[in-house]
Amino acid sequence: TKKNELLFAEIEYMQKRELELQNDNMYLRNKIAENERAQQQMNMLPSTTEYEVM
């Protein structure tokens, strides 16, 4: 029936959407991890004190 076709199409769309969201989520998690690593490296660099700058 028409209703079944509509439901099937909707389910298909939702599954596709779910995959897209999972991919976006993985991408963002990787970006966050990347930034955290970069921040840790920055923190490990010897910091110049204000006195040295003057």
Segment 1-54, tens digit of pLDDT: 999 999 999 999 999 999 999 999 999 999 999 999 999 988 887 766 665 555
In a domain, 53, yes or no: no
- Please report the pLDDT score of residue 46 as a whole number: 77
Could you give the number of structural domains in the chain? 1
Domain coverage including residue 5: 1-48
In a domain, 29, yes or no: yes
Note the pTM of the prediction, 2 decimals. 0.66
Distance between CA 16 and CA 8 in Å, rounded?
12
